[in-house]
A and B are shown apart, each in its own frame.
Chain A
Amino acid sequence: MNRRSFIKNTGVAGAGATFMLSGVPVRALSPQGIFQQAAANSSNDRVLIFIQLHGGNDGMNMLVPRDQYPMYYSHRPNLALPETGVRSIIPIDPSLPSNRQLGLHPDMDGLRQMYEQGRAAVIQNVSYPYANGSHFRSRDVWFMGGSYNDYFSSGWMGRYLDHEYPNYPDAYPNPQMEDPLAIEIGTGVSLAFHRDNGIPVGLSISDPIGFYNLINSVGGSAPTSLPDTHAGDELEYIMQIEAESNAYAGRLRSVFMAGSNSNVTYPTQYPYLAPQGSLNNPLAGQLKIIARLLSGGCKTRIFLCRIGGFDTHANQVEEFDTTMGHHAALMYHISEGVKAFYDDLQNLGLDQKVLTLTMSEFGRRVPSNGSFGTDHGNAQPLLAFGPCVNKDVFGTNPNLSALQGGNVPLGIDYRQIMATVVQDWFGASPSLVQTVGFSDWVGVGIPFVECAAVGIDNIKQAAMSLSPNPCSHKTTLRVPIHEAGWYQISIYSMQGRKVYERMHEFAPPVYSMDIHTGDWSNGGYVVHCRGGGRQFSQTLMVQH
């Protein structure tokens, strides 16, 4: 794919395409919003990672409601995880009231640790009204960001990125955004990244080096004119994918080569009994690539990983030990994989800017079936990971005496969570939230994101200052304070090594402290200050 040249989007392809689905009308969102401040908003470099659990996750065996254990057991005696014994459910937070007391699957100790470290949260009973028992339709709904009867041809992540980065793909890559807007690890591109017009914003890669070598060994120049037919539309689509590949292959390879993982060991195998095909960890490698790309300076904002095997209609446990087996292996893979990932990111000094969410098209039925499995269900728990997450269980335990058709009913609409992400994590303006399609949900967000984004509106609040900067032996940090409280100051070298971390008690109006840098090596540092629901970061240069 060298010597690329491509036609500027003349609007022929994809423009005005009417989307129909088996005779069902489609409501398309308004295509291009007015969004002049995209450049300013891009100063928010936060990253969102979705881990898609493909098939419908059995949340009831991931997080067991401890307050209703006998009822849990009676619903699924052939799958129930034990309450006591060597391998029993792990209580995660004794401080919570009994109606939010949960026990983790015994193979999720990594998740327990992360929760205790303030790096994980649980959100219960997530679904949407009139939830669909179909894998394909339900997954579409989650990715589209709509309701049960919406048929968008775009995904909400695509719409978000389309407005953060207007004029994709023609204006990309550019010096402000050299990297793909979104990356899907693997080889397909899910609906999540589709936009209303044109090619998806997500680039799928599985191996940045191999990808580069591959891209550069094939292809040629595109035709300079296209027929005005359906064939021409398909050609234009193909050409844009080719151009996108050329544009990004070199960059991703450089970023990947520049980056590195720390010495954290990523898990590879489930250590207990499970079917052969379930033993390998399919997630760890994907997260490892992401960590390395981020450490190399990749500015991609959204990543999607996918792991399959959750459609556990049968044989989700080992018959003689319900704590082991196929589903247990999946729980282990998620728990240990994500923990290794965040330990790696922390060593690299990147963990503060990464939020990870699990998502699955639906949960599974609470009563098990006769095949040691579960059928399609409704609401499910979601996991959120990252230092910027509020360590808590959001939503009360499902009432196992009041199931609907054996399913956990809707408690929290998935869009409440996604709206929270778009507004609190990405710092989107209200008009952007509306264009993404979540304005109905903003007022009812779930407060699981602890560090509110520094969006445009917040920029007026003076950020912290470091003076002098560059400094030699000492610099003075000043932070405007609205409410007294404890704040954490962490300072990292550019190699990701933490050189300072302490809690300080701040009081209004301005907190001021000296940082002594006499013993530090020359170079750049990043100073983070967190507290009072806010976060500031600033680079500091030390030159002796």
Chain B
Amino acid sequence: MASLAPYTQPLTQREAGHLLRRTLIGPTQAEISNATGQFAAQLLQQLLVDDPIPNPPIDPLTNSDWVSPAPGPNNSPDDVRRIQFFGWWIHKMHTQPTTIHERMVWFWHTHFPTIETRITNTAALYYQHSLFRKYALGNFKTLTRAMCIDNAMLVHLDGRLNVAGSPQENFAREFFELFTVGKGAQVSPTDYTTFTETDVKEATRLLTGWDVDGSFTTVDPITGIPRGKLKGNGTIATQHDTGTKTFTAAFNNTSIAPASNQVVDVEAELDAFVDMVFASPHTAKYLCRRLYRFFVYYDITPEIENDIIAPLAALLVQQNYEIKPVLEALLKSSHFFDQDDQVLQNNNIGAIIKSPIEITVGSLRTLEVPFPAPNDLVRHYLAYGNKLTEATGGQGMPFHEPYDVAGFDPYYQFPGFNRLWITPNYLAMRYLWSDSITGGVADMSGLELFKLDMPAFVQTHCSNPSNADVLIKEMCDLLLPIDLDQARLDYFRDNGLLSGITSSGWSTDWTTFTQNGNAMLVEQPLEKMFRIILQSPEFQIY
């Protein structure tokens, strides 16, 4: 019996780590230790908070941003600004405060995927991203409505090519299938339970006549963020299909028509459409399943569907699609902490396979690896924008560039879901990444961009590093989501830290290092230790 009843015991170190690993991207030792002993509800008050809206990325060529004013001839070309945008975003993840905000930005990015190479203007991507940032903990319906006419989305799914008399179904179909009601059982050639082919055609008609606004001067009054505009003279929507659209039983046979072809009435029609889709019971359930898979575990059994998804969906509807209450309910539940029954086999701590974001950015944050500062712009973007996106690409996640419009397979593809991150190639590349952390990554001239200072880290993050067992245990507690048995801890100790040296030899070397600061004595064993832990199956999960 799975249960959303709140978990009211003070959190153990393992439980605190679990909550932070799922809500942050790579929690630090201090964050986990501060959370230990707290109650989940309390902790969530601190976690479920918006981060302040950051300043946009700075272009090193002009030393100011390219958002406002729009980029000009002195700015970097668009493809370079693209990398700056990616780097700026990854930097935000790496330096996030102790809130769920960055993780939710990532969630929305996986929910509304956009293939970046289809978008030729980086500002459009930036503004789409701004919607995720603004509504990270906000209102799902408002965000979805905004995505219908977001400039990048209008290009990505051909919304701007959809005009009265020449319909183009791409966006309408994915709007139902990927963003809102999802696809249910197929009961006839054209009926997918949650929507039908007729609904796709009618929605296509309803979404006709929009265009991108490349000047980014059409600002949405509700979101405050630039978006597309209706084709026409600004008052009349000339390429909009103004007829009545009649949807099927999946949407209560609702008919929608604009009062006129005036822009204001066509916009109201869009609102009516979004209201209709969100009135379907499938919308809340579909989103809650995505949240569940993202935060808890990939397999949704009938029991989970009944006991967790259904009540969460009811809550989401009752809260008028505000996300925060649903996140709170899920993340403070006894189910989330494996405390809703005595059955071990269905425990979810450590049950999600990391995406390349957790492997790369997450490890860098947990190990508190410093990166070139934002005022060292060129190297800052090189490290965050180029090197890290290269790494995630090699691990199967080309940044902002899924293979198809549904996004990266592990976030949605039955039956493997997050197991799809693990193939022989990807797994090997994830292991190889640890060499970048311990060996460091340099720029073209050989100057180091980032590297874990292993002796310094161990000195400040272990209570007694000269004791091999204590060192191994504390590093494993930090880096791995589950407890290990003694045999495994011994393996990491003997084949990692103490490979080729004895326990007392290590102790002596460490003590010598603390006295004279000569790191050479301790670097090699520490590198072997980090390598063996980071190149383990246990490090692949969280």
Contact = CB atoms under 8 A, between A and B. Distances in A.
A219 B495 CA distance: 12
A214 B166 contact: no
Contacts of B432: 214, 217-218
Interface stretch (B49-57, B379-387, B484-492): B484-492
Contacts of B177: 134
B541 to A, nearest CB: 5
Contacts of B349: 229, 231
Nearest to A132: B186
Contacts of B446: none
A54 B186 contact: no
Contacts of A390: none
Given A20-B305, A54-B404, A135-B404, A245 B424 contact: yes
A231 B184 contact: no
A125 to B, nearest CB: 16
A238 B353 contact: yes
A220 B532 contact: yes
Interface stretch (A97-105, A290-298, A369-377): A369-377
Contacts of B537: 222-223, 235, 238-239, 242
B414 A151 contact: yes
Given A130-B186, A194-B415, A214 B429 contact: yes
Contacts of B428: 1, 211, 214-215, 218-219, 245
A497 B538 CA distance: 51
Q: Which of B161, B345, B424 has the most CB of A within 10 A?
A: B424
Interface string B410-435: 00111110011011111111011000
Nearest to B163: A370
Contacts of A248: 424
B509 interface: no
Given A1-B428, A54-B404, A204-B424, A229 B351 contact: yes
Nearest to B395: A187
B173 interface: yes
A241 interface: yes
Interface string B295-323: 00101111001000000000000000000
Interface of B is mostly: loop
A136 B429 CA distance: 27
A186 to B, nearest CB: 9
Interface stretch (A307-315, A344-352, A415-423, A449-457): A307-315
B536 interface: yes
Interface of A is mostly: loop
Interface in B441-477: none
Q: Which of A24, A137, A238, A369 has the most CB of B within 10 A?
A: A238
A32 to B, nearest CB: 18
B348 interface: yes
Contacts of A224: 487-488
Q: Which of B173, B299, B302, B536 has the most CB of A within 10 A?
A: B536
A24 B305 CA distance: 11
A314 B423 contact: no
Interface string A179-208: 000000001110100100000000111100
Given A23-B305, A217-B432, A219-B535, A370 B166 contact: yes
17 contacts: A1-B428, A22-B182, A129-B189, A134-B183, A137-B183, A149-B186, A205-B425, A219-B431, A220-B536, A223-B491, A228-B344, A231-B349, A234-B352, A239-B537, A241-B423, A370-B165, A371-B166
Given A194-B416, A214-B425, A245-B428, 20 more contacts: A17-B299, A129-B189, A133-B173, A133-B200, A135-B405, A188-B420, A189-B423, A225-B485, A225-B487, A229-B350, A230-B350, A231-B481, A231-B482, A234-B541, A241-B423, A241-B424, A242-B537, A248-B424, A373-B168, A376-B169
Interface of B: 117, 158, 161, 163, 165-170, 173, 177, 182-189, 192, 197, 200, 285-286, 289, 297, 299-302, 305, 344-353, 396, 403-406, 409, 412-416, 419-420, 422-429, 431-432, 481-482, 484-485, 487-488, 491, 495, 532, 535-538, 540-541
